Amino acid sequence: MTDSILIKSPLTGWLSALETVPDTVFAGGMAGAGIAIEPTGSQLCAPCDGIVSCSPNIPHAISLKLGGGTEILMHIGIDSVALAAGAFRPLVANGEAVRCGQALLDYDLEAIVRGATSAITPVLISGQQLMMPQCQLDRAVQVGDPLFELHWQPGQSASSEQAGMLSAMFTVGFGHGLHARPAARLAAVLRPFTATVTLRFRGRSADARSMVSVMALGIRQDDRVEFGLSGADADEALQALQQFFGIKPAAGDDAVVLVTPASGVLPDDGIVRGITASTGLALGPAFTLTATDAPVAEMGKGVAFEHQALQAALTRTRSHLESRLQGQASQQQDILQAHIELIEDPGLLQSCSVNINVGKSAAFAWQQACREIAKCLQATGDAYLSERAADMLDIEQQVLRVLAGGSPEAAWQLPAGCIVLAEELLPSHLLSIEPDRVAGICTAGGGAGSHAAIIAAARGIPLLVAAGSGIFAIEAGTLLALDATQAELHTRADPVFIHQFSARIEASKRRRAEHLQAAALPAFTRDGSTIRVYANLGQRSEVAAAIAAGAEGCGLLRTEFLFQDRRTAPSEDEQLDIYAAVAADLDGRVLTIRTMDIGGDKPIAYLQLPKEENPALGLRGVRTSFWREDLFETQLRAILRVGRLEQLRILLPMVNDIDDITRAKQHITRCAQALGLAQLPGIGIMVETPAAALMADQLAQAVDFLSIGSNDLSQYVLAVDRGHPQLANRLDALHPAVLRLIRQIAESARKANCKLSLCGGLASDPIAVPLLLGLGIVELSAVPAKIPGLKALVRQVDLHRCQTLADDAIRLADAAAVRSAAADFINRHAQDSFP
């Protein structure tokens, strides 16, 4: 790097001193040295050559990396973080090399003047060996006018002894995340200390003292961030961080919330509570999975060399994934195929190429490209997208291991029958671990709908997720009792408890065998009421297992699998082949095909859905179908061409009112007429919004059946995002408010003589079954593995007693009280069937 560089004006406007900015953080120099420009134009340009560092979460700010640790941050406006993203239009991508004068960002000056505190734009310089020069101020400037020269002086940056290695994790409570003001305050808090402090977030890291680098991480409100500290005064620096994150800021600033350090502490009772992702019981020694990945060098050995190295690593990783396809169940195959698609993604490869072409190593380019995509996925706040970010991290690590000269698979020596503890488990981890060496798994983070959770359930491995960082306080080899049915991990079990827990495991194994033997028998309650138990299916290959488990048909065929993880929409004939094959395999049993439930938390790359502030409240279900009527009618024709109309049922997702039903029926009728069909299959709707639940009396008269989607219904009733890690334990479909709505829906269906089923996750929860029967549910659609136990449970209960239980439950205070009452009921009346 040269000893000096000319900095030119990035904006047209009025140049002034930084002290004129109407914000104490910028004006007081907490954010660093620099100047300010009051813009009169609408475009931000590069003040010099550099590498772009930006984040989709902070479109109002762009920084340029100049080398040698120096960066220039241009922050459009004051308090502009709250403006709609449409006020800013980035013209460059993160990691892109740009030339001096190149356009970086278009902005709506009128919107900024109207909506922000000020349009004045700080231009800040950061760098440890930097000498900030004098600059002629108080004058008009045009884009490209010389401002000043940056000079570097020889010397070494402050160092610290590598002692006192500490780690702490916090949740950010700032209203707009770690934007300029809180990032600058963070840097000021750490300034007195010599310790090295690194901020880590979703696989990326930054010097916590660099406001520019911290902002570039795109950290938002409620995100969990980790600080790594080393040096002689690391303890003191950590205490300062704890004060910073624990003390409410001054009036007019945002609030921050302190959470437990990353090392975690165990609850006083020794019971860690999480979220069940795969039910079951397990007993075994604790084994913590730790990262084994080698550090990544930033600079490469030449453009041609690095391009060749990346291509070779991708080819080897793809071959490895393809070899793993053999012998896997359908869901595991789909996950592996999705990973192959990611490796071939043209956008990902293009991003890598840009970095390699400016001198970066293949490993660095691949890591940056993967993590940028993962960060964008997680930033959406959607459950499905956030869980797909884990797939990006998985692919990233596999390729990096190959580039480092190893195998795509991570290798751990696990003790037999252990309980695995991890921050989050990736699909490749589970596929590479021998099932007989893992009794159960508990993760600090993760989600119940992740690909890893799907694989664990398919392999019968009990899995608890979102259990928090307290699990890392558990010493290796500690005997743990994992009760994934009750969502608990017991860490201080005494010998009596262990003996009783072992007896529960053996009894559970015997019951499962007995339930499977009787799976084909019908499900009658003790007083003779018939309960139909259907299967939720996502693939044709699951039909045989569902029938073997005693399923009386398919209560929900999720057709999203036909649309996801591919580059084009499935054709009519392709869909017909799948639907007809499933119908034939069911051999006359009911087949309920849900039309494409895509959008929201199930995005489709080739549909180019519009950006939404809250996708859960946007284009979802039939709303997406009405938006893309061509895809909707293609699917309807494929369903209707199956024939077997007495066996088929069409299920419409995310219906809100009569108008939705009327519009959908018009499409169905038009397709049937075009095919020359005089008869239609049964038509039903998902009841999964409060509006549909409250309008159920009208809706039930307009369709042939209702099917309650308890997952979404609970999310909307309780106002808790299904993908929110901090609130996951608050989202429980057994909350009395949800149960009251289910009762209201059931009463409406009964009066209209309309069939009613429940196909959400609640139907697969054994503890909920007596309550659901008591509320009026007569059809359950569950995951196939649960069906034998559910049918056995139905045979053990009396409907009248279930109704009494339901009457009492809806008057309780919260979901925990309901679960306690339901568990007590099962212990008294159906203990032999409880898993």
- Which residues are catalytically annotated? 451, 759
Contacts 24+ apart (CB under 8 A), 305-313: 306/356, 306/360, 306/361, 306/362, 306/365, 307/353, 307/356, 307/362, 309/362, 309/403, 310/352, 310/356, 310/362, 310/365, 310/366, 310/399, 310/403, 313/362, 313/366, 313/399, 313/402, 313/403
The C-alpha atoms of residue 108 and residue 60 are separated, in whole angstroms, by 11
Cβ-contact 238, 229 below 8 angstroms:
yes
Sign of CA dihedral 568, 570, 573, 578: positive
- Measuring CA to CA, how many Å separate 189 from each of 185, 239, 243, 327, 501? 6, 10, 9, 55, 49
Backbone angles phi, psi at 50, to 5 degrees: 175, -175
Quote the DSSP letter at residue 138.
Answer: S
Cβ-contact 298, 361 below 8 angstroms:
yes
Nearest to 32 by CA among 20, 18, 50: 18
The C-alpha atoms of residue 783 and residue 542 are separated, in whole angstroms, by 10
Residue 425's identity, in one-letter code, is L
Report the 10 Å Cβ neighbour count for 171: 17
Residue 460's identity, in one-letter code, is G
Place of tokens 């034939």: 584
How many CA atoms are closer than 13 Å to the CA of 38, on its beta-carbon side? Answer: 14
The C-alpha atoms of residue 45 and residue 103 are separated, in whole angstroms, by 4
The C-alpha atoms of residue 552 and residue 708 are separated, in whole angstroms, by 18
Bridge partners (DSSP) listed for residue 124: 34, 73
376: helix, strand or coil = helix
Nearest to 690 by CA among 736, 622, 745: 745
Cβ-contact 707, 754 below 8 angstroms:
no
Strand ranges, E, within 423-568: 438-443, 463-465, 479-483, 488-490, 532-537, 553-558
Cβ-contact 664, 686 below 8 angstroms:
no
The C-alpha atoms of residue 419 and residue 461 are separated, in whole angstroms, by 10
The C-alpha atoms of residue 134 and residue 132 are separated, in whole angstroms, by 7
Cβ-contact 186, 208 below 8 angstroms:
yes
Assigned token pair, 79:
């308090």
Report the 10 Å Cβ neighbour count for 1: 10
Residues 6+ apart with CB under 8 A from 126: 32, 70, 71, 72, 73, 210, 211, 212
Assigned token pair, 793:
């449970």
Burial of 579 (0-12, 13-18, 19+ CB in 10 A): buried
Residues 6+ apart with CB under 8 A from 646: none
What's the maximum distance between 2 C-alpha atoms anywhere in the chain? Answer: 91
Report the 10 Å Cβ neighbour count for 192: 10
